[in-house]
Chains A and B, each alone.
Chain A
Amino acid sequence: DGGITQSPKYLFRKEGQNVTLSCEQNLNHDAMYWYRQDPGQGLRLIYYSQIVNDFQKGDIAEGYSVSREKKESFPLTVTSAQKNPTAFYLCASSITGGFGANVLTFGAGSRLTVL
């Protein structure tokens, strides 16, 4: 089945530690995105990538880093510089990230809790 796989589903981290969230898609989509969702809130864009080896900052990129070495993979690292990292993280992909109707397919999410 085609889709997006996020792992781990739940992650606990001590303050000061970096953690990496995995996102893999087998939809052959060009564009991939990372969003953050806080309780009762909408989604805020962290980073997005329209093509391999290229990515752009979203609205809340500070304290996060990404890479796009393969079309299928777009891992997100939450660094110790992120002041309030406890949140629900959602990865998504779309056929194209350019102009046009970019319908997003989402993964199931990763819930990060900082202890």
Chain B
Amino acid sequence: SQQGEEDPQALSIQEGENATMNCSYKTSINNLQWYRQNSGRGLVHLILIRSNEREKHSGRLRVTLDTSKKSSSLLITASRAADTASYFCATDATGNTGKLIFGQGTTLQVKP
């Protein structure tokens, strides 16, 4: 069962622009995480936001969480060509055993 749905599925921007990706989920969560995947590679953890947090920053990344709307957004500011990758949200559902459920992902292309 896929917990998260991401929007848009694909995004193409110019270098220097900001990129925003959204994630919606269905059940109560302990935390929500964002991961990045370069083509043909494993995923890399970017940032985690807990259910009692509303916003978190890490470098050029800004994540928001709205538990009332069951949604999160990932903002990448001043994007670079090296940010080209797929980005996935993953939810750790309340009452779950700790396993993460991943969304379908957003493919980001940053043009130089």
Is B59 in the interface zone, CB < 8 Å from A? no
Which of A4, A58, A105 sits near B45, CB closer than 8 Å? A105
CB distance from B26 to the nearest CB of A (A): 14
Residues of A within 8 A of B31 (CB): 101
A106 touches B48 (CB 8 A): no
Q: How many residues on A have C-beta within 8 angstroms of the other chain's C-beta atoms?
A: 34
B30 touches A100 (CB 8 A): yes
Is A98 in the interface zone, CB < 8 Å from B? yes
CB distance from B82 to the nearest CB of A (A): 18
Instruction: Report the separation of the CA atoms of residues A94 and B97 in the bound assembly, to the nearest whole angstrom.
Output: 13
Instruction: Report the separation of the CA atoms of residues A17 and B33 in the bound assembly, to the nearest whole angstrom.
Output: 37
Residues of B within 8 A of A48 (CB): 99
- B14-22, B36-44, B70-78 - interface stretch: B36-44
B98 touches A97 (CB 8 A): yes
Q: Which of A43, A58, A96, A100 has the most CB of B within 10 A?
A: A43
